[in-house]
Structure 1
Amino acid sequence: MSTVRPSLRHRALNHWLSPGVLAGVRPGLWRRLRTTHGVDARYWPRAVVTGLAARESDKWAERQRRAAGDLSDIRVEAPVFVLGHYRSGTTRLHNLLARDPLFHAPTLLEATNPWTFAVAERTLRQRLRAVLPPTRVFDAVEVSPDMPMEDEFAICALSGCSHLLRYAFPRNWDALERFLTLDEASGAEVDAWRGAMLQFTRLLTRQRRKRLVLKSPPHTAKIPHLLALFPDARFVFVHRHPLDVFASMRRLIGITLPAATFHASGAPDMERAVVGTFRETMHAYLDARTSIPDGHLVEVAYDDLTASPLATLDHVYRALGLGTPPPLAPEAPFTPAPQTMLDHALRQRLGRAWGDAFDAWGYKV
């Protein structure tokens, strides 16, 4: 895997001028978000770029709507959802599943341009190639317009009802947590989220004509909603030692916030933020996993995925009845980045806060 560091130009674009998690929004949603949450003066350049990009999306959106036509009769066939908390190995498994030619995983281009990708793909690809860094800012995963991407970005741009908004507006972090499980969301917000999921997956199904493989960590806390929309869906849950998740997640937030925020101050305490989201995600998952039909859920360990990726993939296919995985060339050995050691007091706090997760998969504090 490449470890090329982003150039100074790419870092500057990402830090000051990228719309961040709001890539692909249209003007109406952008206006509502900035009115509701505010934009600090320090991030006006990012706000200007976001507004210009929103206007560009608007130019193509009506053309895509006419081209796509009525999507209500499109059936999304048994999508496969990769579940798990951030930094648990979901990207690695998603990338492996996406190599199957019978599947389609939303690409970066599609997920960040859900209003326009079906009619502006060539233009969007050229623009993305000009601005994308060679790797993600928080790890060594290579970046390209066609890399598999979280559909959460599309949900955010289509509905504004996304857990990703916390990174754009961290002063309102706690209020935006409602988009994790949707339990505290309004009826209108739940309807908007569901509408966005159907719009995006139906359009992908029409355009690509393949079974979808979807990965977004917040989906882990929304199993009842996913089953309501896709009762024949399959689920793969990836779990990792909670202490390693905490260390990696704390680093991720520290890197992601500056690249996405419109707030110069008011970010939450990192420990409290990570602890709360992980606890709520795992509680929601553990409560809902028994509602998934037999044979539609398989759980895999991060350690197995990194040590034996192809054997783990074969296990997933057999457990979910997906047939036979395609022959894949062995990957280069994967070495996870070393994690920061956590002090004893912090480990004990995490053990108490996340006891259910430690117990569920046999991890030790």
Structure 2
Amino acid sequence: MARKRRFKVREHQLYTVLPKVWKELKRENQIDHPYRFRARRISFYSKLFSPGFLLQRILFSKKVLKISLEDHPPIFILGLWRTGTTHLHYLMARDTRFGYLKNHQAFTFNFSLLSLDRLNKVLSIFVPGKRPQDNVRVTLDDPAEEEQALSTTTTRSSIHSFFFPQNNTYFTRYHLFEGISEQEKDEWKRDYLFLLKNIAYYSKKKTLLLKNPHNTGRVKELLELFPQAKFIFIHRDPYTVFRSTKKLYNRMISSQLLQFFSQAEIEQLILHNNARILHKYLRERALIPEGNLVEIGFNALETAPLETVETIYKVLNLEGLETARPAMETYLDSVKQYKRNTYDPLPQVLLDKIDEEWAFWFEEFGYKKLK
């Protein structure tokens, strides 16, 4: 009988973290014994790349700070993990008018402006070819989530709760913005704005197309930065999201852990955090100016992708779809053979928890419970 392929991500997102940020993360968190070698590798690579960090800051900081995003506010793709945000991002990124963060820039963010083409060739050996959680193709030039880059520049990133899952305050403070001062919130805004200016400088495009599930609970804060920003929110049936997110933890996030995290803790975290994110999004979406928000379902994107994109462009009053359509069609042809993950049935105890804790999700977006 053939063995199932075991997915393993051997490299860590924090290899290119600024040394001062890594020092602060270690001060704030315990690193459990089985992960100490992983932590030592992070320390090694962070120091190895530090001359590049310094050189980029000297050569580019002033140029980046001069970038203005006010006249062309970003387009934010929102949605929980495993709801189809990546597919939508890949599809809309075929419109060459948009700028976006690329995978190699996300990984080497603190020295990505140095245009080290040889280094990118070296980095290609770290790219798994397919994402372990869903088999989606990955290349250095594909669109990436900016939270990955943010986590290497500051401790003020909610993704740090993935690395240190026993410390959920990174999530509560920098995704939900609970329990922090206005000063600290302003510092997060400064960090995030500088990140986006870097992306704009690198891409040389006026309008940024950004996909980051960590932004789903940040609508209010994003509007404070960009009052005329446009938002696309995508939702999916709760059962699939739960099962797929658990697979994300077991296949991808587990390779990034620096602390113990049990299966029971993973399940509870998914239930609890997703509910809090969605509640905050639902409270704050009314703040978005009329015509700047469109909500779509994953089923519509999957069954009628071009028609769904047409709806997005129409509602948000975006131009250029006809020019971008051939490239979008080419992308869709390339993923026709993609096979979605299959899952074992959920035990009744988990089904009951999903039905109870995510009841508002079923009701709000019209999904049916199994019973």
Q: TM-score, normalised by structure 2?
A: 0.89
- SS in structure 1 at match of 2:285: helix
Going from structure 1 to structure 2, the CA distance change for 1:266 and 1:193 (only over 3 Å counts) comes to farther
Residue in 2 that maps onto 1:206? 201
Q: Please provide the CA RMSD for this pair.
A: 2.1
Aligned pairs for 1:1-365 (under 5 A) are 11=8, 14-15=9-10, 18-20=11-13, 22-70=14-62, 71-76=64-69, 77-173=72-168, 176-210=171-205, 211-264=207-260, 269-325=265-321, 326-327=324-325, 328-329=328-329, 330-331=332-333, 332-333=335-336, 334-365=338-369
DSSP-derived class of the 2:151 partner: helix
State the AA in 2 paired with 1:278.
N
Distance change (3 Å), C-alpha of 1:347 and 1:138: same
Name whichever of 308-317 and 41-50 sits farther off. Answer: 41-50
Q: Distance in 2 between matches of 1:260 and 1:27?
A: 18
Q: Distance in 1 between matches of 2:49 and 2:230?
A: 32
Unaligned runs of 5+ in 2: none
Give the paired residue count. 354
User: Runs in 1 of length 4+ with deviation above 6 angstroms?
Assistant: none
Which amino acid in structure 2 is aligned with residue 322 of structure 1?
L
Instruction: Give the deviation of 1:25 after TM superposition.
Output: 0.8
Q: Residues 32 and 100 (structure 1 numbering): CA distance in 2 closer, same or farther, change over 3 Å?
A: same
The separation in 2 between residues aligned to 1:177 and 1:256, in whole angstroms, is: 22
Query: SS state of the match for residue 194, structure 1?
Result: helix
The code of the aligned residue for 1:355 comes to: A
Deviates more, 1:117-126 or 1:217-226: 117-126
Q: Rate the CA distance shift 1:172–1:364 in 2: closer, same or farther, 3 A.
A: same
Q: Is the 8 A contact 1:111 1:149 kept in 2?
A: yes
- Secondary structure in 1 aligned to 2:291? coil
Paired with 2:75 and 2:213, the residues of 1 have a C-alpha distance of 13
The Cα shift of 1:265 comes to: 5.5
Question: What residue identity is the alignment partner of 1:347?
Answer: L
Amino acid at match of 1:66: I
CA drift of 1:67 comes to: 2.2
Asked if the contact 1:109–1:124 (Cα under 8 Å) also holds between the matched residues in 2, the reply is no
Report the 3-state secondary structure (helix = DSSP H, G, I; strand = E; otherwise coil) of the residue aligned with 1:227.
helix
Q: Secondary structure at the match of 2:109?
A: coil
CA displacement, residues 287-311 of structure 1 (integer Å, 9 cap, x when unaligned): 0001000110000100011111111
For residues 226 and 23 of structure 1, do their structure 2 counterparts lie closer, same or farther at Cα, with a shift above 3 Å needed?
Answer: farther
Q: Helix, strand or coil for the counterpart of 2:340? A: coil
Displacement of 1:266 in angstroms is 6.5
Which one is further off, 171-180 or 63-72?
171-180
Structure 1: 5+ residue stretches without partners: none
Question: After superposition, what is the alpha-carbon deviation per residue over 1:5-39, rounded to whole angstroms, capped at 9, x for unaligned?
Answer: 98x8x83xx34xx223x242111111111122122
Deviates more, 1:106-115 or 1:280-289: 106-115
Task: Write out per-residue CA displacement over residues 78-108 of structure 1, whole angstroms, 9 at most, x where no aligned residue.
Answer: 1110000000000000101111111122011
Please report how far the alpha carbon of residue 205 of structure 1 lies from its aligned counterpart in structure 2 after TM superposition.
Answer: 1.4
Any idea what the Cα deviations from partners look like across 1:119-162, whole Å, max 9, x if unmatched?
14414312211222111121111122111100011111111222
Looking at structure 1, the residues matched to 237 and 173 of structure 2 have their Cα atoms a distance apart, in angstroms, of: 26
Q: In the alignment, is the contact (CA less than 8 A) between 1:240 and 1:302 conserved in 2?
A: yes
- Higher alpha-carbon deviation: 143-152 or 342-351: 342-351
CA contact (8 A) 1:168 1:261 kept: yes
Taking the aligned partners of 1:110 and 1:51, their CA distance within structure 2 comes to 20
Is the 1:60–1:116 Cα contact (8 Å) retained in structure 2? Answer: yes
CA pair 112-182 structure 1, distance change in 2 beyond 3 A: farther
* Structure 1 residues 90 and 188, CA gap change in structure 2 (3 angstroms): same
